[in-house]
């Protein structure tokens, strides 16, 4: 939509109102004239009638010998003539104040007018005979004159009738005009209502949009993060207060300027980022969202005074009708977050060292005691030291898991993918559980796809996931049970269990004939410190961290982990890891859509 400036819109409303008022004025005035002529016509017709009667009256008196009224008769004829033609041909209505105009006869009523006219002309001619000829010739009645009077008297009623017809035709003509006028006025009324309504609606809309704009501005101003909006040419169209404060500029002064004049971007190394590599430009050209996080902190924004700050930014394209019309940059100063992040990493590192150190030393001393190399232990001593040793082992496992969890949660784990022989890895992990497997006489079935080559995946992380899933299978399968581990590569859109996979993936399944997972606890199985009721019953020593950690890792490497289970029948875990683009994903994480980790 093209945006018309608000004052122009208001002018448009005013202008249409003005045109409407003017139209109303002229239309009403036009029909007002018609109404006035109605009166004038009736008046003229009345005069005609009166003059016709008077003509007859005076004509008779003249003929009877009253010479004195001859002049009056002559005047009446003249007045009648003027009055008649005013009615027929139009013009100023005689002797009416305000000189109302009469309309000329329209063709539709011409025959009626002609009829009246022809009689009138005869009438006039006879009247003039009476005026001009002497009433008596040689003492006797002038026959010409008495014939004229005869004609006038005989035709008086006819003259009246034709005159009436003419008036009637005129009035009908005016009535018709009146009806037209009613119709036009009705249309005008409707039109008025529409225009006024539209105008009012428009005005309300404008007011509303003004209001919502004011609100939007208030919203933008209230956003705690810096916000800048640019158009597709890269010009700043909006900038909030926080952005101004962060960049040390006055927002209003930045509007209309190219964003690279205001946003000086540097990379981690302090080098200036060229225009084409700046997030805003990337978004404008690719249409894809760009975001950086504390973990990546790929960019620094430089303030007007030359100082700079690390920034977490999310730049999103603004799309209208499938076209990029601009971009929005939401950013914040992450100096503090980075410090905190650093502190967290240091804490985890320190905790790793200190927490692990003590049980390890204990373990070594216990090993030396238990091996008997410093002298034999009696049976109870042996038994108790074994207990101490086992508890110490559990502490080591718990600490390791907690540290793994916190490192992953804090994003301190570098998950670089490497070429990994997944089958060897699975075999190693199985070997680690060799002792309990043999003790419980569990049979292991390994089904490995023959075409499996090296897979690009982070070995350390995959190992942790496998360790947890396989050790769970061993732990929660009763004696003489079966565990099968299958590894294969599946293509995009193939089915794995009841799911269809979206990418070419490495698929590892671990199924057992164990205790199963209670249905009502399915949704909690991957939550931190959760242990299923039956698992707690069978083994009181679990940490409740294993599957949480596994899921955390699988999410981290953008894979999927789920299970199918039947109580007391067994459980099957599905692990799906996309194999293509693990490397790409790593890169993507630094600079890409939705990198919220």
Q: Which residues bind another protein (CB under 8 A)?
A: 349, 352-353, 356-357, 359-361, 363-365, 367-368, 371, 373-374, 396, 399-400, 413-414, 416, 460
* Cα–Cα distance, 457 to 485 (Å, whole number): 18
What is the closest distance, in whole angstroms, from the C-beta atom of residue 413 to another protein in the complex? 6
What is the closest distance, in whole angstroms, from the C-beta atom of residue 550 to another protein in the complex? 17
Closer CB to another protein, 408 or 535, in the complex? 408
What is the closest distance, in whole angstroms, from the C-beta atom of residue 407 to another protein in the complex? 8
Element at 186 (helix H, strand E): helix 143-222
Cα-Cα end-to-end distance for the chain: 38
What is the closest distance, in whole angstroms, from the C-beta atom of residue 357 to another protein in the complex? 6
Query: 469: closest CA among 565, 533, 558, 338?
Result: 565
* Cα–Cα distance, 136 to 227 (Å, whole number): 117
Q: Is the separation of the CB atoms in 144 and 132 below 8 Å?
A: no
Closer CB to another protein, 533 or 583, in the complex? 583
Element at 511 (helix H, strand E): strand 505-512
Closer CB to another protein, 49 or 356, in the complex? 356
What is the closest distance, in whole angstroms, from the C-beta atom of residue 396 to another protein in the complex? 5
Query: 134: closest CA among 83, 67, 232?
Result: 67
What is the closest distance, in whole angstroms, from the C-beta atom of residue 368 to another protein in the complex? 6
What is the closest distance, in whole angstroms, from the C-beta atom of residue 363 to another protein in the complex? 7
Closer CB to another protein, 140 or 374, in the complex? 374
Burial of 109 (0-12, 13-18, 19+ CB in 10 A): middle
What is the closest distance, in whole angstroms, from the C-beta atom of residue 369 to another protein in the complex? 11
Closer CB to another protein, 278 or 458, in the complex? 458
Q: Is the separation of the CB atoms in 223 and 216 below 8 Å?
A: no
Closer CB to another protein, 136 or 364, in the complex? 364
What is the closest distance, in whole angstroms, from the C-beta atom of residue 361 to another protein in the complex? 5
What is the closest distance, in whole angstroms, from the C-beta atom of residue 483 to another protein in the complex? 24
* Cα–Cα distance, 567 to 15 (Å, whole number): 80
Please give the sequence-ordered ranges of beta strands (E in DSSP) within 66-175, or none if there are none.
91-92, 101-102, 136-137, 140-141
Count Cα atoms within 13 angstroms, Cβ side, for 2: 3
Q: Which two tokens stand for residue 582?
A: 């693990």
What is the closest distance, in whole angstroms, from the C-beta atom of residue 596 to another protein in the complex? 22
What is the closest distance, in whole angstroms, from the C-beta atom of residue 1 to another protein in the complex? 53
- Say if strands 236-239 and 140-141 run parallel, antiparallel, or are unpaired: unpaired
* Cα–Cα distance, 13 to 281 (Å, whole number): 41
* Cα–Cα distance, 328 to 289 (Å, whole number): 10
Closer CB to another protein, 150 or 597, in the complex? 597
Residues 6+ apart with CB under 8 A from 343: none
DSSP 3-state assignment of 272? Answer: strand
Closer CB to another protein, 260 or 418, in the complex? 418
Phi-psi region of 574 (alpha: psi -120 to 50; beta: other; left: phi over 0): beta
Its sign, for the CA torsion 212, 216, 217, 218, is positive
Cα angle value 545/459/415 (rounded, 5°): 75
Q: Is the separation of the CB atoms in 508 and 522 below 8 Å?
A: no
Element at 499 (helix H, strand E): strand 499-500
């Amino acid at each position: 939509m093209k945006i018309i400036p608000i004052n122009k819109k208001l002018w448009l409303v005013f202008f249409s109102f003005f045109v409407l008022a003017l139209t109303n004025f002229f239309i009403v005035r036009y029909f007002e004239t018609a109404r006035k002529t109605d009166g004038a016509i009736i008046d003229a017709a009345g005069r005609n009638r009166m003059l016709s009667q008077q003509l007859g009256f005076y004509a008779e008196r003249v003929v009877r010998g009253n010479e004195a009224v001859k002049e009056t008769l002559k005047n009446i004829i003249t007045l009648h003539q003027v009055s008649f033609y005013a009615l027929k041909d139009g013009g100023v209505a005689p002797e009416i104040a305000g000189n109302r105009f009469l309309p000329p006869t329209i063709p539709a009523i011409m025959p009626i007018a002609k009829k009246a006219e022809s009689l009138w002309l005869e009438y006039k001619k006879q009247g003039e005979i009476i005026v001009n000829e002497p009433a008596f010739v040689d003492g006797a009645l002038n026959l010409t004159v008495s014939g004229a009077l005869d004609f006038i008297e005989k035709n008086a009623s006819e003259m009246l009738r034709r005159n009436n017809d003419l008036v009637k035709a005129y009035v009908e003509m005016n009535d018709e005009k009146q009806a037209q006028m009613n119709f036009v006025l009705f249309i005008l009324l409707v039109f008025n209502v529409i225009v006024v309504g539209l105008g009012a609606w428009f005005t309300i809309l404008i007011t509303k949009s003004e209001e919502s704009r004011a609100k939007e501005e208030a919203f933008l101003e209230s956003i705690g993060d810096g916000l800048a909006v640019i158009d597709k040419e890269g010009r700043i169209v909006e900038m909030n207060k926080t952005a101004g404060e962060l960049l040390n500029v006055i927002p209003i002064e930045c509007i209309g300027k190219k964003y690279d004049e205001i946003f000086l971007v540097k990379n981690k190394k302090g080098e200036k980022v060229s225009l084409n590599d700046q997030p805003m430009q990337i978004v404008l050209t690719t249409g894809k969202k760009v975001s950086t996080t504390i973990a990546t902190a790929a960019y620094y924004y430089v303030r007007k005074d030359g100082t700079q700050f690390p920034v977490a930014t999310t730049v999103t394209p603004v799309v209208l009708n499938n076209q990029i019309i601009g971009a929005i940059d939401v950013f914040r100063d992450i100096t503090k977050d980075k410090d905190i992040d650093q502190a967290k990493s240091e804490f985890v590192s320190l905790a790793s060292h200190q927490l692990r150190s003590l049980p390890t030393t204990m373990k070594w001393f216990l090993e030396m005691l238990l091996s008997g190399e410093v002298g034999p232990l009696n049976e109870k001593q042996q038994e108790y030291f074994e207990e101490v040793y086992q508890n110490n082992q559990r502490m080591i496992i718990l600490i390791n898991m907690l540290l793994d969890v916190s490192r992953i949660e804090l994003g301190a784990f570098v998950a670089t993918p490497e070429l990994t022989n997944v089958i060897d890895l699975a075999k190693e992990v199985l070997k680690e559980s060799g002792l309990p497997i043999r003790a419980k006489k569990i049979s292991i079935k390994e089904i490995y796809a023959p075409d499996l080559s090296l897979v690009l995946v982070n070995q350390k992380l995959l190992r942790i996931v496998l360790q947890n899933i396989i050790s769970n299978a061993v732990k929660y399968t009763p004696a003489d049970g079966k565990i099968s581990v299958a590894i294969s590569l599946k293509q995009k859109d193939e089915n794995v269990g009841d799911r269809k996979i979206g990418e070419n993936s490495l698929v590892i399944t671990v199924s057992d004939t164990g205790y199963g997972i209670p249905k009502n606890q399915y949704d909690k199985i991957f939550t931190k410190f959760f242990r299923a009721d039956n698992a707690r019953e069978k083994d009181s020593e679990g940490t409740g961290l294993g599957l949480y950690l596994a899921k955390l890792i699988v999410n981290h490497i953008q894979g999927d982990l789920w299970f199918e289970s039947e109580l007391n029948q067994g459980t099957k875990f599905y692990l799906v890891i996309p194999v293509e683009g693990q490397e790409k994903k790593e890169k993507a994480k630094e600079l890409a859509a939705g990198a919220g980790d």
